[in-house]
Amino acid sequence: MPQTSAAETGTGATEDTAFEIAVSTRNISKNFGEVEALNDLSLEFPLGQLTSLLGPSGCGKTTLLKIIAGLLEPTSGEVEVNGQRVTGPGPDRAFVFQDFALLPWASVIRNVAFGLELRGVARSEREAVAESYIKQVGLAGFENAYPHELSGGMRQRVGLARALAVDAEVLLMDEPFSAVDEQTRRKFQEDLLELVQDQKKTFIFVTHSIEEAVYVSDQVAILLPRPSRVSEIIRPSSFRGKGVDNIRRDPEYLDIVDEIWASLRRYVE
Amino acid sequence: MTLLGYRLPGMSSLIIWGLLWETVGQSGLTFFIPPLSEVVATLFSVIGTAAFQKALAETAYAFFVGVLSAICIGIPTGILMGKNRLLDELLLPWVNVFLSAPLTALVPVLMVLFGFGMRAIIITTTLFAIWIIILNARAGVKQINRSLVDMARSFGASPVDAFFKVYLWAALPEILGGIRIGIIRAVKGVIIGQLLISIVGFGALFELYAANFLMGHFWAVLIVLFALAFTISEVLAYLERRVSYYAAKR
């Protein structure tokens, strides 16, 4: 694996030009006081695909996601979503939070409909939309339950349904499965693959799990810290169409996981 | 608590203190403590009198208006202080000073500023209650989960929506706690106001009974006052428990 800092190297890089780009970040730098979190980082996210941001802790992957979300302002550089420059949070992007960020005092249906409520959609209309997404994420029958009555995995399904309900073109997911147990996480990963196929949305997915990144992604961007940079972009090519059950024993899957670990291990103390 | 294998109902200890009171009262040790039975009898005879009901109405009016203003001013102030660094730096020292200051000493100043009537009493009540309400609302907003704030922003909440639909609710357990303590302090405030500013309401009754050595009456009114404050505080504690189920889960 080449360890160059050029963003366009890596497996399958030649295909890159063929994709329509939904989100692009250009020369993003972000400083928190003296600390440099991101330095001159450029990345492109193809439309309708899932791109993972993978890297050791402290590499700025969540910072980059929050900049794309408009929750943080970059010190320099710019983000474009569908050709529009990002100046703050917008209806074209929806966020899925690591700790779910549900309203503890609101029922599942109100939580799922909350994005629409903030947009002023009438109650009956937004609840109808919410209901269909609750069904889609497999929580039918829990519409009137409260978050504290649900398991971690179910709570994240609520978070996911809320993000889907606003029908944004880009879904930003910040380590969405890291707070749920291993078995639930596997189910989530399978469901996510299906979701990426069904919904014509662009997914940007932050994770620290190498296996998870390779399993769910069309494109894995590996970020390295100090100075923060995109070290390579990997596009798994052969196993995506083989079905969820076969991915984990596909030779290419295993090779990519090994390669990524080989390049990341020296950044992990 | 259990005693000899029996489960005692709440506040059983009051029975022991009541018995002790009765014994001391019957023994005639001091005129200051008449027997409890006599106090209770006085209590029922006093409650029906016009003087008592007028005092109750006057006190209740000053108390509720005072507490309501403390809540209506205190909660928004506290939330704004929690959200705005500048405002916080500006106001926090004063809130802390007034929280611990002997407010009773300020009452004469209030009399000069606001006269000797109901208005000064209400303001005294408010001043007793408001500081802890502000501090608790501020603390409640400060501990709101960072990602809930991000969530509200990323889904496009306007500042007004974020305030009424997220911050206020997220801080509710702390706010209710502040109101409960504020109300207990307001009971002190309203009586001190009535004693020092103008002799009306329960303050007037205390003054009257104490001056005439009517200790039975004195204790009876005190018991009524305590019971009222206790009831309000318990109702709020119940509400707090109702909402704190999610406070523990967030």
Task: Quote the pLDDT of residue A4.
Answer: 41
Using CA coordinates, name the residue in chain B closest to A100: B147
pLDDT digits (tens, 9 = 90+) for B167-201: 888 888 889 899 999 998 998 899 888 888 877 88
| Distance separating alpha carbons of residues B42 and B38, to the nearest angstrom | 6
| Distance separating alpha carbons of residues B110 and B107, to the nearest angstrom | 5
Task: Quote the pLDDT of residue A103.
Answer: 92
A89, A99, A103: residue with CB nearest B154: A89
Task: Quote the pLDDT of residue A265.
Answer: 85
Q: Does residue B210 carry a pLDDT above 70?
A: yes
More confident call, B116 vs A113: A113
Which one of B151, B165, B250 makes the best mutation probe of the A interface by having the most chain A beta carbons within 10 Å?
B151
Task: Quote the pLDDT of residue A14.
Answer: 45
B150 touches chain A (CB under 8 A): yes
A128 touches chain B (CB under 8 A): no
Q: Which residues of B touch A89 (CB under 8 A)?
A: 153-156
B238 touches chain A (CB under 8 A): no
Q: How near does any CA of chain B get to the CA of A260, in Å?
A: 30
B98 touches chain A (CB under 8 A): no
3.40.1280.10, 3.30.390.30, 3.40.50.300, 1.10.150.130: which CATH number matches A1-92+169-236?
A: 3.40.50.300
Confidence label for B247 from pLDDT (cuts 50, 70 and 90): low
Ordered per-residue pLDDT tens for chain A, 269 residues: 444 444 444 444 444 456 888 999 999 988 888 888 888 889 999 999 999 999 888 788 889 999 999 999 999 999 999 888 999 899 999 999 999 999 988 999 999 999 999 999 999 999 999 999 999 999 999 999 989 889 888 999 999 999 999 999 999 999 999 888 888 898 899 889 888 888 889 999 999 899 999 989 999 999 888 767 788 888 888 777 777 778 888 888 888 999 899 888 888 77
B154, B158, B243: residue with CB nearest A69: B154
Which stretches of chain B are DSSP H helices? 13-27, 36-47, 50-83, 85-100, 107-114, 118-142, 146-154, 159-161, 168-170, 172-196, 201-211, 215-247
Q: Which residues of B touch A81 (CB under 8 A)?
A: none
Task: Quote the pLDDT of residue B130.
Answer: 95
A98, A114, A146: residue with CB nearest B155: A114
Cβ–Cβ below 8 Å for A95 and B150: yes
Task: Please report, as a single letter, which amino acid is at residue B10.
Answer: G
Q: Which residues of A touch B154 (CB under 8 A)?
A: 69-71, 89, 93-95
Task: Quote the pLDDT of residue B245.
Answer: 59
pLDDT digits (tens, 9 = 90+) for B227-246: 888 888 888 888 888 776 55
Q: A234 by DSSP, 3-state: which? A: strand
**Tell me, what's the ipTM?**
0.85
Cβ–Cβ below 8 Å for B246 and A114: no
The residue written with tokens 């969540």 in the block is: A62
The residue written with tokens 């100043």 in the block is: B109
Cβ–Cβ below 8 Å for B154 and A147: no
Q: What are the extents of the domains in chain A?
A: 1-92+169-236, 99-167
Using CA coordinates, name the residue in chain A closest to B160: A118
DSSP state of B167: I
Q: Are B85 and B142 in contact (CB under 8 A)?
A: no
Q: Does residue B249 carry a pLDDT above 70?
A: no
B158, B161, B246: residue with CB nearest A105: B246
B214 C-beta neighbours (distance < 10 Å), count: 17
pLDDT digits (tens, 9 = 90+) for B68-101: 999 999 999 999 999 889 999 999 999 999 988 8
Q: Which residues of B touch A98 (CB under 8 A)?
A: 147
Q: Are A240 and A257 in contact (CB under 8 A)?
A: no
pLDDT digits (tens, 9 = 90+) for B216-230: 888 888 888 888 888
Sign of the dihedral through C-alpha B84, B87, B89, B93 = negative
Number of Cβ pairs < 8 A linking chain A and chain B: 64
Q: Are A9 and A222 in contact (CB under 8 A)?
A: no
Q: Tell me if the pTM is above 0.80.
A: no
B175 touches chain A (CB under 8 A): no
Q: Are A176 and A159 in contact (CB under 8 A)?
A: yes
B151, B156, B158: residue with CB nearest A101: B151
Q: Which of residues 74-93 of A touch B (CB under 8 A)?
A: 89-91, 93
